[in-house]
């Protein structure tokens, strides 16, 4: 097996939005699955977990795809025009345009929600076999409803309803999160945790016990919904939401390597 070609940066047009994609082709002769990364809310493909996976893929001669949603990183589009449905559409478009064969889809936080929605859509299209596994890091399905709207004070809800947006302070930087009415209302059309869910492939969940953004109890609700699938839930007691410490990245690599 020869070494893979260098990672390339391209831009994919999705409904008039320029989506930045980094793609590492598989090494010649490789028969392993590809890795497909789905980042979190206001994250980008240059984060430590995405970089770690790209290095892991290169080491094993695997294909690797990562990209920025519109309004994120170096992609075009405005963040405050984004919704779960829009970002899911972009994920599906990138998946269709850049991947071949079975894939391990790795989703972090909001990316975990999108990974589950992507799996459901692939099943609907009769392409469920494209998924080797889902590896979810602090998955946040339904976060717009359960972890935002339900927890917002009434005055914040009124601001969103009347002004269309609310600037929510971020614990990870000076730039606040723009929470729009469109994001909340669209999120309600993509809720998953109120009914059984089957993705048709193994699921591995890494969850921090000290996560203040996505409490471990929220991620555990997902396990109860995935009653038909092979699911392993790993609780890292002292782990935070990012799970990007060296020991956390090592755990991520082990979870991915199970299916390689």
pLDDT (tens digit per residue) in 79-136: 999 999 999 999 999 999 999 999 999 999 999 999 999 999 999 999 999 999 999 9
Mapping DSSP to helix (H, G, I), strand (E, B) and coil, where does residue 15 land? Answer: coil
**What does pTM read for this prediction?**
0.96
Give the pLDDT band of residue 2 (cuts 50, 70, 90). Answer: low
Give the pLDDT band of residue 3 (cuts 50, 70, 90). Answer: low
Report the percentage of the chain scoring pLDDT > 70: 98
pLDDT of residue 91: 98
Domain ranges of the chain: 8-142+195-257
Active-site residue numbers?
Answer: 109, 211, 241
Burial class (CB in 10 A: 0-12, 13-18, 19+), 101: middle
The separation between CA 61 and the C-alpha centre of its own chain, rounded to angstroms, equals: 23
Average pLDDT, the chain: 96
Q: Which CATH number fits domain 8-142+195-257: 3.40.50.1820, 3.30.450.20, 2.40.30.10, 3.20.20.100?
A: 3.40.50.1820
pLDDT of residue 173: 75
Mapping DSSP to helix (H, G, I), strand (E, B) and coil, where does residue 84 land? Answer: helix
What whole-number distance in Å separates Cα of residue 188 and Cα of residue 197? 16
Which residues does residue 14 pair with via DSSP β-bridges, in sequence order? 17
In Å, what is the CA distance from 120 to each residue of 31, 58, 83, 113, 143?
A: 25, 29, 18, 11, 18
Q: What is the pLDDT of residues 151-205, one digit of tens each?
A: 999 999 999 999 999 998 887 778 888 999 999 999 999 999 999 999 999 999 9
What is 181-250 written as a DSSP string?
Answer: HHHHHHHGGG--TTS----SS-EEEEEETT-SSS-HHHHHHHHHH-TTS-EEEEEETT--SS--SHHHHH
What whole-number distance in Å separates Cα of residue 71 and Cα of residue 38? 14
What is 130-177 written as a DSSP string?
Answer: GEEEEEEES--TTHIIIIIGGGS-HHHHHHHHHHSEEEE--TTSSSPE
Mapping DSSP to helix (H, G, I), strand (E, B) and coil, where does residue 179 land? Answer: strand
């Amino acid at each position: 097996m020869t070494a893979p070609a260098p990672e390339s940066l391209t831009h994919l047009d999705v409904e008039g939005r320029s989506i930045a994609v980094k793609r590492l082709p598989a090494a010649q002769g490789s028969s392993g699955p590809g890795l497909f990364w789905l980042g979190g809310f206001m994250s980008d493909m240059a984060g430590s977990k995405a970089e770690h996976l790209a290095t892991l893929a290169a080491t094993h001669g695997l294909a690797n795809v990562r990209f920025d949603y519109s309004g994120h990183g170096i992609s075009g589009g405005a963040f405050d025009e984004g919704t779960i449905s829009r970002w899911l559409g972009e994920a599906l478009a990138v998946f269709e345009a850049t991947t071949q064969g079975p894939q391990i889809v790795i989703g972090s936080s909001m990316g975990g929600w999108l990974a589950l929605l992507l799996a459901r859509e692939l099943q609907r299209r009769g392409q469920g076999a494209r998924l080797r596994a889902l590896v979810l890091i602090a998955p946040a399905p339904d976060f717009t409803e359960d972890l935002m709207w339900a927890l917002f004070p009434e005055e914040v809800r009124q601001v969103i309803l009347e002004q269309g947006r609310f600037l929510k302070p971020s614990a990870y930087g000076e730039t606040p999160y723009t929470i729009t009415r469109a994001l909340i209302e669209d999120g309600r059309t993509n809720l998953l945790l109120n009914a059984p869910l089957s993705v048709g492939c193994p699921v591995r969940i890494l969850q921090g016990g000290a996560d203040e953004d996505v409490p471990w109890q929220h991620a555990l609700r997902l396990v109860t919904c995935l009653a038909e699938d092979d699911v392993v839930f790993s609780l890292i007691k002292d782990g935070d939401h990012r799970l990007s410490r060296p020991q956390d990245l090592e755990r991520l690599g082990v979870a991915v390597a199970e299916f390689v």
